[in-house]
């Protein structure tokens, strides 16, 4: 039985794994992708490397250490977690083409391998809610991103368009307006937002608000340059209001989905699925810790996720040492 299983291989999961290992804990990380969303980045026209905060370099340091210590982790997806008096049974489905490791103490099951652990650290992050329109996937990372707060320092003297369905989009527009020359905020039909937030934004000269529009497509060259929008839910027609927005950067700011379904029966979550944690990253279940964007702390910043992962690991280690006294 492992002393801890860490689920998720983004910045929080990588940091948690290395800090557990440094404390001598018998730990196993399960992830579908080393690096998580930190492997993705937004490039803008005429952007120089020195403009970019080098937080991803720290992620690469942890990733390199984990890759070298291959016994600490495995590729896989967690399909089920069950708790008993001794700990947790974690069912892991391996990607096709990978097999059971030599000397691995996992038991086999028709639905995958079952790993046992005394405690868990959940660092599964979030999944962006995409628009599902032509050009979106083509230009993602090329002038089109999903976290304006991470890139607002790059937007000086640029034109920016933000689209979303909640206060998240309004706050992103405000963040962008602190740097950009002009911001177009597109609020989708049926968006849920604070009218106080919206009134504040509407009083800012650099922000144009288009309420009740939806995206139709993104176009461009090597980067996204244009976004077509249409009013309302119906298909665009010649007699319906229709606009084309040109910008240097586009941000999709819909509320993401917390990847917490695997522990919904074990911990307390918000209505949006974020795992509730205390100041030491402990959840409502004292044997489960959580870190990164999947939690109520999630601010989608790499350095924050790294710190949260480290703190979750140290909290798990403290629990282990106190248990042994």
CATH of the domain at 174: 3.50.50.60
Structural domains in the chain (count): 2
* pTM (predicted TM-score): 0.86
Same domain for 205 and 144: yes
- Quick: pLDDT tens for 30-39: 999 888 776 6
Give the domain extent around 194.
Answer: 136-252
pLDDT of 105 higher than 50: yes
Residues 220 and 168 in one domain: yes
- Of 219, 237, 252, the one marking the end of a domain is 252
Q: Are residues 167 and 314 in the same domain?
A: no
pLDDT 10s digits, 175-184: 999 999 999 9
Whether residue 225 is found in the same domain as residue 152: yes
Per-residue pLDDT at 170 exceeds 90: yes
DSSP 10-59: SHHHHHHHHHHHHTT--EEEEESSTTGGGG---B-TT--GGGS-THHHHH
Please list, residue by residue across 204-234, b when 16 or more beta carbons sit within 10 angstroms of its beta carbon and e when fewer do: eeebbebeebbbbbbebeebbbebbbbbeee
**Residue pLDDT, tens place only, 118-141:** 999 999 999 989 999 999 999 999
């Amino acid at each position: 039985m492992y002393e801890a299983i860490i689920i998720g291989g983004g910045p929080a999961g990588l940091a948690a794994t290395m800090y557990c290992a440094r404390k001598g804990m018998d730990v196993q990380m399960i992830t579908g992708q080393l690096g998580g969303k930190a492997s993705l980045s937004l490039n803008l026209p005429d952007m120089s490397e020195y403009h970019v905060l080098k937080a991803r370099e720290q992620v690469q340091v942890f990733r390199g250490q984990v890759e070298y210590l291959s016994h600490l982790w495995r590729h896989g997806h967690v399909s089920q977690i069950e708790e008993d008096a001794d700990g947790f049974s974690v069912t892991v489905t391996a990607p096709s083409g990978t097999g059971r490791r030599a000397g691995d103490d996992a038991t086999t099951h028709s639905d995958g391998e079952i790993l046992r652990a005394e405690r868990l650290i959940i660092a599964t992050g979030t999944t962006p809610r995409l628009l599902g329109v032509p050009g979106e996937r083509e230009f993602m990372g090329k002038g089109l991103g999903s976290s304006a707060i991470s890139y607002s320092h790059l937007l000086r003297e640029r034109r920016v368009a933000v689209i979303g369905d909640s206060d998240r989009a309004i706050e992103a527009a405000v963040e962008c307006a602190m740097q950009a020359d002009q911001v177009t905020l597109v609020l989708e039909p049926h968006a849920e937002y604070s009218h106080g937030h919206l009134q504040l934004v509407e009083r800012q000269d650099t922000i144009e608000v288009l309420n009740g529009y939806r995206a139709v497509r993104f176009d461009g060259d090597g980067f996204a340059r244009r976004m077509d929008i249409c009013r309302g839910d119906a298909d665009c027609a010649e007699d319906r209001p229709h606009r084309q927005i040109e910008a240097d950067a586009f941000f999709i700011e819909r509320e993401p989905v917390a990847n917490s379904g695997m522990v919904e029966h074990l911990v307390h979550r918000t209505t949006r699925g974020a795992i509730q944690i205390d100041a030491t990253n402990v959840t409502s279940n004292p044997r489960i810790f959580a870190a990164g964007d999947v939690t109520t702390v999630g601010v989608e910043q790499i350095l924050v996720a790294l710190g949260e992962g480290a703190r979750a690991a140290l909290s798990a280690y403290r629990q282990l040492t106190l248990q042994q006294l």
